[in-house]
Structure 1
Amino acid sequence: MTLHIQTPLIESRPLSLASGCTVWLKLEAVQPCGSFKLRGVGHACEVHHARGARHFVSSSGGNAGLAVAYAGRKLGVPVTVVVPETTTERAKQLLRLEGAKVVVHGSSWQEANELAQTLLGSGDAFIHPFDDPLLWAGHASLIDEVAATGLKPDAVVLSVGGGGLLSGVVEGLTRNGWDDVPVLAVETTGAASLHAAVQAGHPVELERLASVATSLGAKRVADQALECARNHPLHNHLVSDRAALEACERFLLDHRVLVEPACGAALAVAYEAKKLAEYNNVLIVVCGGATATLAQIQDWLKQVD
């Protein structure tokens, strides 16, 4: 019995018509805490719990922290989540709803993470939001579920923040013998840490993050994500904040599911006319996100270019 659930895999008629190919959606937005993060985080928490951890500490602006809080509540382990000052009130409210202690510190995830490291005592386990092999192994289960249906996609589209989802999906593709399936890794232009690393040939730290897709807000991508870019067929795509936000609105209309701009980035590639037309069957990871509201998305749309 896992903490995450097996999520639906559905064909999207609206996205198929928009993109010129058959689009399949892996609906991670319906995980109990709202995002794919529960796969890897839940796996990591279960492993640490089995090893005797009595307290989970995490640093997260939202979804990873929510997954740790949910896992901790289900396992009966107290949780502390350090969030940056940019974290929305809704995200903090959801964390407290799961019973987590919320500490606000710093202007970015990096600063929140530095404080989180100082809070660790004996018997505590640190749950990283994206850079941990335990997370990647858990996220890989997403591809196992797709493989079990008999569908082999011609490409997988996903959003990239710190690179945890990318690393997990590539691990899942490899362990199912799908090394030939390319990954289309999508970032917003203001949070493109993978793109910067690929261009430079090594991980680089962005000077600043300038995107409403705060769940993609890692200034430096995980080393493993760059390894995936080097060793697996990968195409990097950049979309604007506006495209990501408009994709969120369209997806809500098309599928009655509200997702964050970070997820909207991946959906935007499919909504852009014929971007995926060279493929027959495309899998999009609808990674979800629990912290966005429709009012917030509409407000952001008024502010972006």
Structure 2
Amino acid sequence: MSLMTKEPNIQEIQQAVNLLTPYILPTPCLFNSWLSDLANKSSSLSNHLDKQIWVKWENLQLTGSFKIRGALNKMLSLKERGVNEVLAVSAGNHGLGVAYAAQKLSMTATIVVPKNAAVTKVRAISELGADLFAQGDSYDEAELIARKLATERQVEFVSPYNDKEVLIGQGTIALEMLNQQPLDLIIAPVGGGGLLSGLAIAATYFNPDNPVDVIGIQPANSTAMQSSFRAKEIVAVQESPTCADGLAGNLEENTYTFPIVKKYVKDIVTVSEEQIEQTIFNFLHYDHMVVEGSGAVAAAGLLSGEMNLNKYQNIGIIVSGRNIDLSRLSKIIEKYQ
């Protein structure tokens, strides 16, 4: 998508809220005591403001992830235009969203996933009736194959992030959160930036006289957006495997989300694999919630000590998904209990 495409506005995100309401769940945004204790005990947060952490439980969303919001918003738009067949690339959760939307809207979907995609997600995509292809040794390779396949088949490609309608759909989370709980800051995971950019626009203009700041968190093993954010231009990075597989991958050239992230997002910081795993375990231990690596990244940011949160009191954290393989979860439990 061209960088000349006009960025979304708050009215378009509100329209998406109305459009998506019949298809998705309104997930809770609840006070979290152990995360609040963690924030208040951190030496980097030593001031007189008592921090309250509010968790947006998007792991309770249909398909187990927030990704259904962007996928549905895009495919509802395509359906209105008479499109009935789509192709997508996904590490898992976007594919689930596209497959679910295709089933609900009587469309046909083909999903390309990397060969190392989580078994839990791959099985769920198949169960929703989508055609599935495991191609490429990494997300970047899978995306190249998927785009080539879409061109050869002459079908619509639904990007996980590099798309205006997808971004608008993800931005509905911020409006939902801010109608549930007044916040000073929202902390969210970031990969390609579909969620982060949509959030940032909605959080900035929900109340223009008192905009809500947004900070992104990315795994240290896959830092494409953070590196680009710091460089003020899109750069390619070398990646290592990460348990936050949904956030892996480099950015496409002329990525639609990047100028929006650069304009509206306060900062992007990284977290280690150990911090992500510890947070997955903590959610299971304290909240009895199953959270995948990508879903735990935002909360793991509180362990990093990299954020200056002194001026914030009510902080929202997005837990974006739950679709973790049982084998990986078992290893984490054994390691941290």
Work out the number of aligned pairs and report it. 302
For structure 1, which runs of at least 5 residues remain unmatched after alignment? none
Query: Taking structure 1 as reference, are residues 106 and 123 closer, same or farther at Cα in structure 2, changes over 3 Å only?
Result: closer
Query: Cα–Cα, structure 1 residues 160 and 274, in superposed 2: closer, same or farther, change >3 Å?
Result: closer
SS at match of 1:134: helix
Task: Please point out which of 148, 154, 159 is paired with 2:184.
Answer: 154
TM-score, normalization: structure 2?
Answer: 0.82
Q: How does 1:66-215 map to 2 (within 5 A)?
A: 66-120=96-150, 124-149=155-180, 151-178=181-208, 180-215=211-246
1:279 to 312, 320, 325: 312
CA contact (8 A) 1:72 1:78 kept: yes
Percent identity of the aligned residues? Answer: 25
CA contact (8 A) 2:115 2:135 kept: yes
Report the CA distance between 1:231 and its aligned residue: 1.7
Task: Name which of structure 1's ranges 138-147 and 93-102 shifts more when overlaid on structure 2.
Answer: 138-147
8 Å CA contact 1:72–1:79 kept in 2: the answer is: yes
Q: Distance in 1 between matches of 2:295 and 2:230?
A: 23
The C-alpha deviation readout for 1:94-146, integer Å capped at 9, x for no partner, is 11111111111111222222222233377732211111010111111111112
Of residues 277, 281, 288 in structure 2, which corresponds to 1:245?
Answer: 277
Q: 1:301 to 1:187 in 2, by over 3 A?
A: farther
Correspondent of 1:235 among 254, 257, 267: 267
TM-score, scaled to structure 1 = 0.91
Partners of 1:118 and 1:198 in 2: CA distance: 28
Superposed displacement of residue 302, structure 1: 8.0
Task: Give, in whole Å, the separation in 1 of the partners of 2:333 and 2:228.
Answer: 29
- 1:294 and 1:250, CA in 2 relative to 1: closer, same or farther beyond 3 A? farther
Q: Does 1:268 align with 2:300?
A: yes
Amino acid at match of 2:36: S
Aligned-partner residue type, residue 281 of structure 1? N
* Counterparts in 2 of 1:124 and 1:225: CA distance versus 1, 3 Å: closer
Question: Which is further off, 277-286 or 96-105?
Answer: 277-286
What is the deviation of 1:207?
2.5
State how far apart, in whole Å, the 1-side matches of 2:89 and 2:265 are.
31
What is the root-mean-square deviation in Å for CA atoms of aligned residues? 2.4
AA at the equivalent of 1:15? L
Conservation of the 8 A alpha-carbon contact between 2:89 and 2:111: yes
The aligned counterpart of 1:25 is 55
Please tell me whether the aligned partners of residues 19 and 277 of structure 1 are also in contact (alpha carbons under 8 angstroms). Answer: no
1:191 partner SS:
coil
Native 8 Å contact 2:205 2:211 kept in 1: no
Question: After superposition, where does 1:30-69 map in structure 2 within 5 Å?
Answer: 30-69=60-99
d(CA) in 2 for partners of 1:99 and 1:209?
32
Structure 2 residue runs of 5 or longer lacking an equivalent are: 1-18, 41-50
Match of 2:27 among 4, 7, 10: 7
Deviation at 1:273, TM superposition (A): 7.3
1:204-244: CA deviation from partner (whole Å, max 9, x where unpaired):
11133332211110222773443234322512211100100
Per mean C-alpha deviation after superposition, the further-off stretch among 171-180 and 181-190 is 171-180
Distance 1:116 1:101, change over 3 A: same
Match of 2:315, as an amino acid?
Answer: V
